[in-house]
Structure 1
């Protein structure tokens, strides 16, 4: 299909929703950007490499290179395993431990340099996001920031995140008439235990970002921040929670709304899961930047699902509750530095 075959018209979300019942919502980085423009960085690894506070050294970068990844979780997990092996073999090397804490500290500073501080978040905005998320049977988020988590906590009784009362992952947990909230790429509120299982950090909304990834050996943050689709898939397969969430998307039925997700080559595994599910109706948000941009986006999304008999409905992202311009918080409000995390 030629580029000129696509027009620049975008529907209003209310009209799309009125014509189709969407049981699922896939949320991408565009939803976070709607509130906080600092989420526009390309890769957290690049932020950690160049940040002025505790940047990654050449020694730490060598560990990422050796493991052929730019994701933090597999690097931190590998270093933690190295420490345990050294202890078992009575090898007195402090290098893995030093590298572990240095990389984790760089990650903490990188996260805090791009994440919206709790003090700038309008509670009314979180309530509005909560209300929108609860309209779906299942919400799949590829964002690892805390916006969805903070929004859900405004009325947590309306959601089921597959974690039990002990904050442990429970794949069999079901709650009638609630929205399942699944984090496909993990999140800042999720950590991996020594046995590889995943648990949810229990903390108040206001302190969770401040206490994120406190430099303790047992808590490895579990989130897929960037890297190739193939490497993301490896990480997903080796984490029980992530593999469960991915399987749920791959078996989703009925119509799916995709908001703020570019579905680029680095997220090919997400596209493959949607294709595997055999979804026949998909609504996709597009920012109305220009006619050329709208046409380009339509062509991109259409090429992903070409020949599958999928009905695509394109709508103006700003007409969706998650893209409402009123949600935007001015970066100018960040006029004081965030506290330095304690080791």
Structure 2
């Protein structure tokens, strides 16, 4: 591979020469629209919320005992405990109290960082919707509601991965249209006690507000920040998440990475892409400085440069429809 330089072509020019049928979005795509998505850890956000709205000391002790900072496995464990206690005629007061406490802290943390529906411009949703249609498959490791909101604006042409009752069935996963696959789940998805996945039927503001409905038995299905092995463990316990990761590992054609850094916490995604061996990978980079561009290029060369038959190309992230500066939403002063 020739020496790396700071040159970054425009996305349209590169896409014409090396089109991609699949898109993999990361947190950088969400941060480009709403800066508060740049939080470091939802678990730490829940800790910072204080005694009334944040994680209690006993809640944090439960996370520590299970060796995780992921909310889904902790809430699922409490649900299983409640069901087992009921079968054994043992009081479920303590695990139920912890379930409610942790869920409330999670709800508060999500509301602190998430873009409110009232601030989401319709034109921005239309732009995102149109940009997604340029791909056969869209993968996202984000669990926010930006993509579900955008797809709901004009759902025609997008593949429906869930049945009429909102349930995922891997036996009927072959559909037509642009597929949107949530690799780490999302705020619009629920995991039921039997392990099945359900998509909530609400839309717009109700899709966000409904996340606060605190019903034992249905756990929000999303994998928040954590180690790659933790994330992979949570993925393996979900039929839907396992299917999504398996589909990424089968992407043989061109793959576009946007807002996706693929650091050590997402090594499972790196390994899926390496298994797929796509014909080429086109990677969005924000041109902060020449040194930054070269460092970012080297970062991806270290991960994929040795893949035989896979070419790497880089482009200016701001020239992609999802990276346009006008999409950025101003954060009200009260939220700073």
TM-score (norm 1): 0.94
Paired residues of 2:149 and 2:203 also in contact (CA < 8 A) = no
Q: 1:161 deviation in Å?
A: 4.1
Distance 1:161 1:333 in 2: 39
Give the structure 2 partner of residue 20 of structure 1.
Answer: 18
Matches within 5 A, 1:175-190: 175-176=175-176, 178-190=177-189
Paired residues of 1:213 and 1:220 also in contact (CA < 8 A) = no
Give the structure 2 partner of residue 160 of structure 1.
Answer: 159
Give the structure 1 partner of residue 221 of structure 2.
Answer: 222
Q: Secondary structure at the match of 1:314?
A: strand
Give the structure 2 partner of residue 244 of structure 1.
Answer: 243
RMSD of aligned alpha carbons: 1.6
Distance 1:113 1:220 in 2: 20
Farther-moved stretch of structure 1 (42-51 vs 84-93): 84-93
1:10 equivalent to 2:8? Answer yes
Paired residues of 1:233 and 1:269 also in contact (CA < 8 A) = yes
Distance 1:117 1:131 in 2: 22
Farther-moved stretch of structure 1 (185-194 vs 304-313): 304-313
Give the structure 2 partner of residue 34 of structure 1.
Answer: 32
Distance 2:126 2:333 in 1: 21
Distance 1:148 1:334 in 2: 26
Distance 1:201 1:333 in 2: 32
Deviations 1:286-326 (A, max 9, x none): 11111111111001000001321321111111100111110
Paired residues of 2:80 and 2:193 also in contact (CA < 8 A) = no
Q: Secondary structure at the match of 2:139?
A: strand
Deviations 1:135-183 (A, max 9, x none): 100000111000011011111121114111111102224333x101100
Gaps of 5+ in 1: 337-343
Question: How many residues in Structure 1 have an aligned counterpart in Structure 2?
Answer: 333
Give the structure 2 partner of residue 235 of structure 1.
Answer: 234
1:121 equivalent to 2:120? Answer yes
Q: 1:89 deviation in Å?
A: 1.4
Distance 1:173 1:66 in 2: 37
Q: Secondary structure at the match of 1:158?
A: coil
Give the structure 2 partner of residue 307 of structure 1.
Answer: 306
Q: 1:101 deviation in Å?
A: 0.4
Gaps of 5+ in 2: none
With over 3 angstroms needed to count, the CA separation of the structure-2 counterparts of 1:334 and 1:15, relative to structure 1, is: farther
Give the structure 2 partner of residue 264 of structure 1.
Answer: 263
Give the structure 2 partner of residue 339 of structure 1.
Answer: none
Q: Secondary structure at the match of 1:331?
A: coil
With over 3 angstroms needed to count, the CA separation of the structure-2 counterparts of 1:93 and 1:139, relative to structure 1, is: closer
Distance 1:190 1:175 in 2: 19
Give the structure 2 partner of residue 332 of structure 1.
Answer: 332
Distance 2:160 2:4 in 1: 39
Give the structure 2 partner of residue 50 of structure 1.
Answer: 48
TM-score (norm 2): 0.96
Deviations 1:67-114 (A, max 9, x none): 111000000000111111111111224111100000000000000000
Paired residues of 2:160 and 2:175 also in contact (CA < 8 A) = no
1:138 equivalent to 2:137? Answer yes
Paired residues of 2:11 and 2:315 also in contact (CA < 8 A) = yes
1:100 equivalent to 2:99? Answer yes
